[in-house]
Amino acid sequence: MISFFRKIRQKLLQQNRVTQYLTYAIGEIALVMIGILLALQVNNWNENRKARTFETEILSLIDQNLTRDSVLIATELQNAILAVQLTDSILNQIERGIYDERLNVWMGKVVTFERFKSQSSAFEVLKSKGIGTISDKDLQLNLISYYDETLFRVYEALNDVEDFFNGDWIPVIKNEFNDFSYRVRMEPRNPILFFENPSSIVLFKLYKDNREQGSVRRMKTALDEISKLRILIKKQNP
């Protein structure tokens, strides 16, 4: 094609038709520019199509990760709420001076801790690609809030409970208990001495407060944010 146009220009020059030559040359340049612009437009269209395809796929994976997080958090939240409720039962039983097997079973479910690890692999892939890949700004902000802020607070609250278990309960268990079966039961050597010790009451109350005001509240917030995120994702990926 280029050689064809070149032959025409040469013929026009040989015939001394300069004006026509210039007009033809300008037209040829215009055609080349149009071709370049079309090529760029097609390339941009392809890049946008790839970006939208990536957005659809990554949001689908994030939704799967969030579903898993929701199930795991709900399970740990249920355990934590049960522990709070059983702590109240223990304190009520102690106040009434009833030291039976129920206390041992309840303590087995109270003197524990919850663990959770988010499945955030899809979000990490998104961050490496660029959060701006997500076209919905509100969804961008909510994803950042959940993965970089809310989860941090959940981990922090859960670690506080686990640290309390290891630092405060374990020494007591070693010194004052005959039997300890995690999440099943625990039996003090001298129930009356243990349960009537003010330090034991304080220990139960502090542990309950650590859960109630910390991990339970943080996990509820996380579940709320997951629900909101999944609604936004569904709008983006109907």
Asked, for residue 57, whether it belongs to a domain, the answer is no
The predicted model scores a pTM of: 0.81
Question: Strand, coil or helix: what is 237?
Answer: coil
DSSP 132: G
Q: Report pLDDT digits (tens) over 70-107.
A: 999 999 999 999 999 999 999 999 999 999 999 999 99
Total length of the chain: 238
Residue-level pLDDT at 33: 73
* CB burial of residue 191 (10 Å; 0-12, 13-18, 19+): middle
Residue-level pLDDT at 2: 46
Phi, psi of 130 (to 5 degrees): 120, 120
Phi, psi of 181 (to 5 degrees): -120, 110
Which helix (H) or strand (E) is 212 found in, with range? none
Asked, for residue 217, whether it belongs to a domain, the answer is yes
Asked, for residue 14, whether it belongs to a domain, the answer is no
For residue 236, name the pLDDT band (cuts at 50, 70, 90). Answer: confident
Q: Tell whether the torsion through CA atoms of 92, 169, 174 and 85 is positive or negative.
A: positive
Q: Are 131 and 143 in contact (CB under 8 A)?
A: yes
DSSP 98: -
Distance, in Å, from the CA atom of 227 to the CA atom of 74, rounded to the nearest integer, reads 12
Q: Report pLDDT digits (tens) over 213-230.
A: 999 999 999 999 999 999
Asked, for residue 175, whether it belongs to a domain, the answer is yes
Residue-level pLDDT at 186: 96
101: its two tokens: 């097997």
Asked, for residue 41, whether it belongs to a domain, the answer is no
Residue-level pLDDT at 191: 94
> Picking from 18-27, 70-79, 175-184, which range would have the lowest pLDDT averaged per residue?
18-27
Asked, for residue 91, whether it belongs to a domain, the answer is yes
Asked, for residue 50, whether it belongs to a domain, the answer is no
Domain span at residue 209 reads 62-236
Q: Report pLDDT digits (tens) over 121-150.
A: 999 999 999 999 999 999 999 999 999 999
Residue-level pLDDT at 166: 97
Contacts of 98 (CB under 8 A, 6+ apart): none
Asked, for residue 11, whether it belongs to a domain, the answer is no
Q: Does residue 49 have a pLDDT over 70?
A: no
For residues 7-19, give the mean pLDDT.
54
Distance, in Å, from the CA atom of 13 to the CA atom of 22, rounded to the nearest integer, reads 10
Domain count, the chain: 1
